[in-house]
Structure 1
Amino acid sequence: MKIGLVGLPGSGKSTCFRLLTGRQHGGSTSDVAVVEVPDPRTLRIAAIYQSPKIVQPETTFVDLMAVHQGDSSEGEALSLVKVAGDADAFVLVLQCFGELDASGNPLDPAADLETLLLEMALTDLAIVEGRRQRLAKTGTRDPHAHWETEVLEHCETHLSAGGALRDLDLSEEQRKYLRGFSLLTMKPWLVALNVAEEDLVGERAVGARQLAEQRGLPWIIFCAALEAEIEQLPPEERAAFAADYGLVEPGRERLIHAAYRLLEVITFFTGGPTEAHAWTLSAGATAVEAAGRIHTDLEKGFIRAEVISFQDLEEMGSEKSVKEHGRLRVEGRTYVVKDGDILFIRFSR
């Protein structure tokens, strides 16, 4: 799973990348890093099974090139989609600190959010228009081409008004077709309000927050510069330093978890005396698909899944106790795995 960081120049986007990954942007068009997603449940499972090895979920963050107003011509749109199109979700980083933006204009985070939303919609519009125009030039009477044209025209109308395609009422067939274009507004977004150290409650970000809520977008407030500074401290000093600023949960973890929630995935676990392992899986996936995430041999030879919920394991304290209370379940191939399930896959070799 891949999450793209998007922002206007000066938004602090690359500082966010440094906060998330612990390293500077490499200076290329985009930079990529794999980040561990801290899940306390993995640690608890490891403690119960006395597992010496712990494997947390991971996701990939990409620090994308800064968006500039006017990037949405077809040529620029294709360039942006080429770089960002394979992202599964986006974090829109907004500058909510200082008096002036990077262009020397008075700071207006809500206007910056409008710009980002519009540029991403216009980027998609350029792609959609280009495809429709190419279909029109062929002059084909193919019924599927007619169907494509109708879908594209419907999207054009919505995008021209600055709307996002994920908000359109589309059939699954239409969504599957549009996914082939890697359109940016088909994907989930998180608005990251990057505030100043002296404004941790986000007074400068109120307008942008309200706009995000109007658009149905989740948001998070944090100070990337301060949080990145805290992450550079020795681990034993971080909590006290953060407490001085009234910070309860590290901003890095809050941002990672907020972004991770965009991906529409669940976390299931495997546990034992050698390893406690957290695995990501698409929401709605089945037990046999979960087996395939662990190893293809488990998927091919799948017989059944023995399932314990994390809540039951934590409450009862051991796998043995869970079994004694009759809380271990046996499920077949089509069982839909739930977040927090601990799976034991039985398979034929």
Structure 2
Amino acid sequence: MKAGIIGLPSVGKTTIFNVLTHGKAAAGPAGGRKLEPNVGIVKVPDARLNFLSSKFNPEKTTYATVEFVDVQGLVRGKGQDLALAPVRTVDALVHVVRVFHDESVPHSEGTVDPERDKRNLDYELMLADIASIEKRMERLEKDLKKIKNVALEKELAYLQCAKEWLESEKPLREMEVSDEEKKLVKGFAFLSEKPMIYVENIGEDQLDRLRHPDAQALLRAGTEQTIICGKLEAEMAELPSEELKSFLSDYGLTESGAERLIRTTYRLLGLISFFTVGEEECRAWTIMRGTNAQQAAGVIHTDLADHFIRAEVCHNDDFVKYGTMQALKEKGLLRLEGKEYHVKDGDIITVRHSG
């Protein structure tokens, strides 16, 4: 899974990227010439995998990962900014919005106004999509003057509808699209079509928002929202795990902002994890909710899907309760499932195959 971190200048975007990746990336210039993005791979924290590893003592423990791409700050009025190019291939966008106040770091708009900033950057993404659509429509219109082609006519009709939708200042993620239309425009990677997570970056004097988030926040389709104190998270990132637990407890928190963001990303994209276990390796695998057992086997290795017979399945919650596979078998909780079984979040799976 890949997520792109975007935002206006001076919102703490790169600070949050460094917190997530335990990196030391420097913030780049905003709205300038093309700048290579910061890229980092983040292990997905998972207490379930930690427990399984403590029981099986494997040679290797492999966590699921998320790749984060941090691009330079986007300047309002530059919808076609080259900085947007690296996030066209991501699965979701993480929009860092400034809520903290700091006179030493001026806001690019002069004042701190999170709702305004959300609207402005959403609009920049829509402008970029309109530019892509207009360019493609121009090419299609030229081609259709030379030859009649039903597929191209359908694509042009869809793009015209999409353009009108965007011009009404609504992102493409809110537009109803048929399966046929999805196939027509699969290669466009529209920015306003991508799921969006708004991350409110608060100051240390605003920590009450972490303990009492606004339950009434109105979220549009295909979006989620979470809250992070980037400055506090940067301090936490330097702490050993035991000190971190105590630090979180002092603030009345049970998890870090980084963990909360990753969990929010999984929920928005409809992702779940299943596990494979053994003395050699305990591993978490990421799949879409609704994936069947044969498809999940293919995530491990294509040969397992091709030669799939059955999946031996139990759930992590049951393993925690009873402690061994033998105990689960005796309780009837270790079972065989066919290829159409829908894998559940937290399933422990062993694939039986003929390969």
Q: What TM-score results when the alignment is normalised by the length of structure 1?
A: 0.90
| Pair 1:241–1:46, CA change in 2 (3 A) | closer
Counterpart mapping for 1:286-297 below 5 A: 286-297=292-303
Pairwise CA distance, 1:160:
0.9
Aligned to 2:161: 154
Point out the more displaced range, 106-115 or 176-185: 176-185
SS of the counterpart of 2:66? strand
- SS of the residue aligned with 1:218? strand
Select 1:114's aligned residue among 109, 112, 119.
Answer: 119
> 1:319 corresponds to which residue?
325
Deviation at 1:258, TM superposition (A): 1.6
Query: 1 CA distance for matches of 2:109 and 2:191?
Result: 28
Partner of 2:17: 17
Shift of 1:106: 1.7
Distance in 2 between residues matched to 1:212 and 1:80, nearest whole Å: 29
Distance (Å, rounded) in 1 between the aligned partners of 2:312 and 2:249: 43
Match of 2:234 among 217, 228, 231: 228
- Following the alignment from structure 2 to structure 1, what is the Cα–Cα distance between the partners of residues 79 and 45? 36
AA in 2 matched with 1:166: R
* Residue aligning to 1:275: 281
CA contact (8 A) 2:196 2:222 kept: no
Partner of 2:128: 123
Tell me what 2:264 maps to. Answer: 258
Distance in 1 (CA, whole Å) between partners of 2:52 and 2:244 is 26
| Conserved? CA contact 2:7–2:13, under 8 Å | yes
Matched, 1:133 2:138: yes
TM-score (norm 2): 0.89
2:2 and 2:66 in contact (8 A); partners too: yes
Residues 70, 119 of structure 1: 8 Å contact kept: yes
Question: Is 2:98 the counterpart of 1:95?
Answer: yes
Instruction: Note the alpha carbon deviations across 1:284-306, whole angstroms, 9 max, x for none.
Output: 22222222221233223222111
Which of 309, 329, 339 is the aligned partner of 1:333? 339
Q: What is the alpha-carbon root mean square deviation over aligned residues?
A: 2.4
Residue of structure 1 in register with 2:254 after alignment: 248
Stretch deviating more after TM superposition (275-284 or 325-334):
325-334
2: CA distance, partners of 1:270 / 1:310: 11
Paired letter, 2:8: L
Q: In 2 relative to 1, CA 116–337 (structure 1 residues): closer, same or farther, beyond 3 Å?
A: same
* Distance (Å, rounded) in 2 between the aligned partners of 1:339 and 1:268: 6
- Structure 2, unaligned runs of 5 or more: 29-34
Q: May I ask how many residue pairs the two structures share in their alignment?
A: 343
Deviation at 1:175, TM superposition (A): 1.8
Q: How does 1:119-198 map to 2 (within 5 A)?
A: 119-138=124-143, 139=145, 140-198=147-205
CA distance in 2 between partners of 1:198 and 1:104 (Å): 22
Compare 188-197 and 325-334 and name the one that shifted more. Answer: 325-334
Cα distance in 1 for residues equivalent to 2:44 and 2:268 = 13
Deviations 1:244-303 (A, max 9, x none): 333332122112222233332221111123322111112222222222221233223222
**Contact 1:30-1:63 within 8 A present in 2 as well:** yes
1:104 & 1:186 partners in 2: Cα distance?
A: 26
1:346 matches 2:352: yes
CA distance in 1, matches of 2:346, 2:249: 30
Sort the Cα spacing of 1:331 and 1:185 in 2 relative to 1 into closer, same or farther, 3 A. same
Note the C-alpha offset of 1:178: 2.4
Picking from 77, 85, 88, the partner of 2:88 is 85
* Residue identity in the other structure for 1:149: L
Question: Partners of 1:189 and 1:286 in 2: how far apart?
Answer: 27
How far does the alpha carbon of each residue in 1:54-86 deviate from its partner, in whole angstroms, 9 at most, with x for none? 21111101111211111224xx3xx35531111
Using the TM superposition, give the Cα deviation of residue 152 of structure 1 relative to its aligned residue in structure 2, in angstroms.
Answer: 0.5
For residue 113 of structure 2, what is the amino acid of its counterpart? D
Distance, in Å, in 1 between the alignment partners of 2:190 and 2:102 is 34
Shift of residue 318, structure 1, vs aligned partner: 1.6
Q: CA deviation at 1:107?
A: 1.4
Alpha-carbon distance, 1:342 to partner: 1.1
Change (3 A) 1:210 1:118: farther
Q: 1:104 offset after TM fit, Å?
A: 6.0
What residue in structure 1 maps to residue 31 of structure 2? none
Shifted more, 88-97 versus 99-108: the winner is: 99-108
Q: 1: distance between equivalents of 2:148 and 2:92?
A: 36
Residue identity matched to 1:108: D
For residue 47 of structure 1, report the CA deviation from its aligned partner.
3.0
Structure 2 distance, partners of 1:156, 1:49, is 55
Question: What is the deviation of 1:206?
Answer: 9.0
Structure 1: how far apart are the matches of 2:73 and 2:167? Answer: 22
2:55 is the alignment partner of 1:42: no
Q: Percent identity, aligned pairs only?
A: 38
For 1:330, the aligned partner's letter is L
Q: Provide Cα deviations, 1:96-152, integer angstroms capped at 9, x if missing partner.
A: 111664336121111111111111111111111221122112224211111111111
